[in-house]
Amino acid sequence: MKEVKALNSIIDQVTGQELRQAVEAVCRQAREASCQLAVAEEGRLNQALEILARRIEAATEAIIEQNKLDLALAETAGQSKAFIDRLTLNPARIQAMAQGVREIAALHSRVGKSLEERKLENGVLLQKIAVPLGVIGIIYESRPNVTIDVAALCLKSGNAVVLKGGSESLNSNRFLVGLIKEALAEAGLPTDVVGFVNSPERAATLHLLKQDKYLDVLIPRGGYELVRAVVEHSSIPVLYHAEGGARIYVDPTADLNMARQIVFNSKTNRPSTCNTLDTVVLHRDIAADFLRLALPELRAAGVRVRAEQMAFELVSPALAQELELATEEDWATEYLDLVLAVKIAGSFAEALEFIRHYSKRHTEGIVARDEKLIQTFVNSLDAAALLVNCSTRLHDGGVFGLGAEMGISTGKLHARGPVGIEELATYKWVARGNGQIR
């Protein structure tokens, strides 16, 4: 692996040693402080969170002042409207952050509980005990509310955290982290358990990716490019979702009115989310009926519908005018927008093959009544969640009853689907004997 070692020293030259040491120090301090957090009582953690909620509320004006510094820079830099919107904090959003912290405090933590227990043949009592992951690194875009959300979820689950937010939110984040540290100190917890990479440099992120000595897991939250870069270059295990987007197959045995409602909701409820419908796969036998039923409502809601040539021939000329022609690229696209692709399948097998090929392994859906066919669908597809006769938008930690979530994981190790408080834990084995040897 000599080639690669040489490459590492290139990274060092490119990025500067001082910054690397600063990032390393934050991670090391979080690791050292994490031992105290892991044995802290839940009551004390909840107390810190309640203090934090109150401090956020009390500091509303000061938060907005810092946020304005970020907004001014972002506007000067010509950032998009959507970007500016995500960056903006106002009294309502600040109140929502405080409320979110209180909801996280109310969650049930399994830390310290025995998950499994058995007596071995040799008389040893073996227990599998839930414990925090340790230190979690989080890399996210310029959305300052995420700073509070993720720090609160980490603390509640007994984890130390190192935060690296988007550089455009540096002033807001720095101030919010200050509030968190004040709350920790007031609750008698070490302030180092929430670390903050106080640098707008991109190189700081690169350094963070290499702190496997101190960080147990990295969670990148943001666009596909950010996530890919983190996965590609991290030496720390990563929990992430790469791409999202869903497909729904509508079978001839489906209740077509139910299918219409599910497709409409899956597409329009909140189009920018990762559990939103991208392609509806229609069995040829019901394609014309379904489009006649669903198209007017979708178009009225502003959805652009891109169908393959065959669909144009199946519907009336008036409806055909509402369609655009889909290209190969559409089948693979996560739109995150009011666009819907329509694929016609000659058979269930063809539909299944299509979905398997284009699946992002995040969310796939089916509307059908045939139980055997549903079971084949569920067994054959490899995705974090399979939604049968319900909206793909239901794939969510809150809806699933798992509480606040850090995101949806499309990886297969550790967590698949919603990453909530349970997924921020690991376990350790404790074996108690009275002299057993091997």
Per-residue interface string for the shown chain with its own copies, residues 133-172, x marking contact by CB under 8 A: xx--------------------------------------
Question: What's the min distance (Å) between Cβ of 278 and its own copies?
Answer: 17
Please state, in angstroms and rounded to a whole number, the distance separating the CA atoms of residues 302 and 308: 19
Per-residue interface string for the shown chain with its own copies, residues 59-98, x marking contact by CB under 8 A: ----------------------------------------
Select from 45-53, 67-75, 129-137, 150-158 the region that touches its own copies (CB under 8 A).
Answer: 129-137
Please state, in angstroms and rounded to a whole number, the distance separating the CA atoms of residues 157 and 426: 10
Per CB under 8 A, 281 contacts its own copies:
no
Task: Looking at residues 236 to 265 of the shown chain, list those that interact with its own copies (rule: CB under 8 A).
Answer: 237-239, 255, 258, 261-262, 265
For 106, counting Cβ atoms within 10 Å of its Cβ (0-12 exposed, 13-18 middle, 19+ buried), the class is exposed
User: Nearer to its own copies by C-beta: 150 or 415?
Assistant: 415
Q: Choose, by CB under 8 A, the member of 18, 61, 121, 328 that binds its own copies.
A: 121
Instruction: Give the CB-side neighbour count of residue 113, counting CA atoms within 13 A.
Output: 9
Please state, in angstroms and rounded to a whole number, the distance separating the CA atoms of residues 98 and 112: 27
Please state, in angstroms and rounded to a whole number, the distance separating the CA atoms of residues 173 and 148: 9
Q: CA torsion angle for 166, 172, 176, 181 (degrees, to 10)? A: 80
**CA angle 90–185–213, rounded 5-degree value:** 95
User: Nearer to its own copies by C-beta: 175 or 348?
Assistant: 348
Task: Looking at residues 167 to 226 of the shown chain, list those that interact with its own copies (rule: CB under 8 A).
Answer: 202, 206, 212, 216-217
User: Nearer to its own copies by C-beta: 175 or 377?
Assistant: 377
**Best CA proximity match to 208, nearest among 11, 20, 34, 28:** 20
Task: Looking at residues 292 to 321 of the shown chain, list those that interact with its own copies (rule: CB under 8 A).
Answer: none
Task: Looking at residues 320 to 379 of the shown chain, list those that interact with its own copies (rule: CB under 8 A).
Answer: 356, 374, 378-379
Please state, in angstroms and rounded to a whole number, the distance separating the CA atoms of residues 212 and 234: 9
Per CB under 8 A, 380 contacts its own copies:
yes
Q: Choose, by CB under 8 A, the member of 25, 62, 106, 124 that binds its own copies.
A: 124
Instruction: Give the CB-side neighbour count of residue 255, counting CA atoms within 13 A.
Output: 8
Per CB under 8 A, 437 contacts its own copies:
yes
Task: Looking at residues 383 to 402 of the shown chain, list those that interact with its own copies (rule: CB under 8 A).
Answer: 383-391, 393-396, 399-401
Select from 78-86, 93-101, 293-301, 382-390 the region that touches its own copies (CB under 8 A).
Answer: 382-390
Select from 80-88, 168-176, 330-338, 406-414 the region that touches its own copies (CB under 8 A).
Answer: 406-414
Please state, in angstroms and rounded to a whole number, the distance separating the CA atoms of residues 396 and 364: 13
User: Nearer to its own copies by C-beta: 12 or 65?
Assistant: 12
Please state, in angstroms and rounded to a whole number, the distance separating the CA atoms of residues 404 and 390: 21
End-to-end alpha carbon distance in the chain: 38
Question: What's the min distance (Å) between Cβ of 367 and its own copies?
Answer: 9
Pairing of β 114-119 and β 125-132: antiparallel
Number of residues counted as binding its own copies (CB under 8 A): 83
Question: What's the min distance (Å) between Cβ of 253 and its own copies?
Answer: 14
Task: Looking at residues 16 to 35 of the shown chain, list those that interact with its own copies (rule: CB under 8 A).
Answer: 35
Query: Measuring CA to CA, how many Å separate 113 from each of 106, 109, 131, 426, 429?
Result: 17, 9, 8, 11, 12
Contact yes or no for 248/263 (Cβ under 8 A): yes
The structure tokens 């329009």 sit at 268
Q: Choose, by CB under 8 A, the member of 21, 231, 246, 336 that binds its own copies.
A: 231
Select from 20-28, 76-84, 233-241, 329-337 the region that touches its own copies (CB under 8 A).
Answer: 233-241
